[in-house]
Chains A and B, each alone.
Chain A
Amino acid sequence: MKITFFRYFVRQAMRNMVENRLVHLIGLGTMVIAFLMFDAFILIFVNLNSWTQEQGRSLTMSIYFKGEPERAVIESIKKELLQYPVSTTGFISKDDALKSLRKQLGEKAGLLDGLGENPLPASLEIVLSRDVSGDSLPYELKTRLERIRGVDEVQYSQEWVERFQAIMRAVKLIGLVFGGLLFLAALFIITNTVKLTIYSRKDEIEILKLVGATNRFVKIPFLIEGSIQGFLGGSVALIVLFLVYVAIITKVDLSIGFASLDIIFLSPQFILLLLLMSSIIGFTGSTVSLGRFFRI
């Protein structure tokens, strides 16, 4: 394409948007809402997904002791663990456990003063690094460890993770359907916005054709317009989502008092992908409505 054509197309697209700003603003607003729902859904989904994967990948096992364990007991456990894919271990003494509970309770820590003896057990937390979901290994380890003298109980979260993963599969399916519907809605909105601007420019299109403009020459500014609009709608939706995200994580930090809730925002790659998708929706919407118009 000649550069002069390109300059003309971009100028024309910008101009159309400024001249039909009301139609565009309304279209943009509706699109932002559609994209926002879509993006919010993706964000929730990404978080749930990364969380379950985390849980599935690294299984945490807690070994609780009767009273304060002797050094020899811990040594024998560590020896036992050598054959297993354990990435980290952390010992929590009775005192440590109480301290961290105090910290969690914050102002209400006074409640603990009434207790005579520390009721919390000492524990050893280990993280199994390999993906062990659906494996008999955790169970095997549990029974072996529970045979060691001084060990009270071994707990791990396997069952729960598995159930959660089943739920996630359902969420994925629902997400696919829901996301698809939102996608169609955005497409529908943009198709109609562009159709409105095309109809408001019917005379202009006719005149362009009469002085020898090709169909492509007439169409391209509308396609650029649709893409820009999709991109703008996508950007505004992401910005709004980010603000909501920031508001939520700061709120959560304040009210709970500790940041154990790890909400992540969309990765840059994901953001680029969503922006690209919004632009493509815009482009496609324009193509669809132009197709209809030029057939008439």
Chain B
Amino acid sequence: MIRLFHVYKSFGSKNPALIDISLTVPKGEFVFVTGPSGAGKTTLLKIIFCAEKPTSGHALVDGRNLMRIKDGELSSLRRRIGVVFQDFKLLPRRTVFENVALSLEVMGVPPSMIRKKVHQTLRYLGLADKEGYYPPQLSGGEQQRIAIARAIVNNPLILLADEPTGNLDYDLTMETMALLKEIHTRGTTVIVATHSQELLKGTRRRIIALHKGRMV
């Protein structure tokens, strides 16, 4: 599903954010990416959903070579990848409902279907009563779960979650992790980036550890 070959990424003249990353994530796997702040976790995810192009190396996602992907292919690939951004990236001037609906709207899903799916997803995340709110009116934890809702509402093939529990208390963290696992059991390939050792404690999942841009 995801293959990286000797991927390097540098921003300007600073130390590279990613150095010689090669990895394979097969379809249906659940993987953690971990490492201290600045290790390159977000950059790695960005490479995968093609928000950044590798400086060198190759990246294949769902059979597409990201080095030479065309605009049209890129957007259709992104519709198959749900992303929970570290900074949420919600639209402040659109309601919770509209934010979540966005993933479906770009696909041209009919409005009645959009309504059904969005309600279902918001209920699933316990946010049904918040659909008319605007993101700035919500707590950090609520915004984070809206971001999760937007990422999963269109049943993506791949789910990339960047610190999905960063703003959540213990109970909600556990709840959210259970949710991600449930999405995983439905067949979605899941990659969770986190610097929290708590989250990894006792897990039998594969862990990709990064340190200063290198896999360790």
Chains A and B form a bound pair: yes
Q: Is A2 a contact of B102 with CB atoms below 8 Å?
A: no
Query: Is A95 close to B, CB under 8 A?
Result: no
Q: Is A209 a contact of B89 with CB atoms below 8 Å?
A: no
Q: Is A212 a contact of B71 with CB atoms below 8 Å?
A: no
Query: Is B216 close to A, CB under 8 A?
Result: no
Residues of A within 8 A of B78 (CB): 209-212
Query: Is A255 close to B, CB under 8 A?
Result: no
Closest to B103 in A: A211
* Interchain CB contact (< 8 A) of A210 among B49, B72, B107, B108: B49
Scan B51-73; emit 1 where CB is below 8 A from any A CB, else 0: 10000000000000000000110
Query: Is B110 close to A, CB under 8 A?
Result: yes
Number of A interface residues at 8 Å Cβ cutoff, please give it. 19
Q: Is B72 a contact of A214 with CB atoms below 8 Å?
A: yes
Interface size class of chain B, counting residues whose CB lies under 8 Å from the partner chain: 20 to 34
* Interchain CB contact (< 8 A) of B108 among A2, A19, A209: A2
Residues of A within 8 A of B79 (CB): 211-212
Within 8 A of B (CB), among A87-146: none
Scan A213-226; emit 1 where CB is below 8 A from any B CB, else 0: 11101000000000
How many Å lie between the Cα of A204 and that of B98 in the bound state?
13
Q: Is A212 a contact of B76 with CB atoms below 8 Å?
A: yes
Query: Is B172 close to A, CB under 8 A?
Result: no
Closest to A217 in B: B106
How many Å lie between the Cα of A216 and that of B51 in the bound state?
18
Closest to B80 in A: A212
Query: Is B111 close to A, CB under 8 A?
Result: yes
Minimum CB–CB distance for B47 against chain A, Å = 14
Residues of A within 8 A of B105 (CB): 8
Q: Is B108 a contact of A5 with CB atoms below 8 Å?
A: yes
List the 3 closest A-B pairs by CB distance, nearest first.
A212-B79, A212-B78, A213-B106
A-B contact pairs, 28 of them (CB 8 A): A4-B108, A4-B109, A4-B110, A8-B105, A19-B93, A203-B89, A203-B91, A206-B89, A207-B90, A207-B91, A207-B102, A209-B75, A209-B78, A210-B85, A211-B78, A211-B79, A211-B106, A211-B150, A212-B76, A212-B77, A212-B80, A212-B81, A212-B106, A214-B71, A214-B72, A214-B106, A217-B75, A217-B106
Extra pairs beyond A212-B76, A213-B75 (12, CB < 8 Å): A2-B108, A5-B108, A203-B91, A204-B91, A204-B93, A207-B89, A207-B90, A210-B49, A210-B51, A211-B102, A212-B79, A212-B103
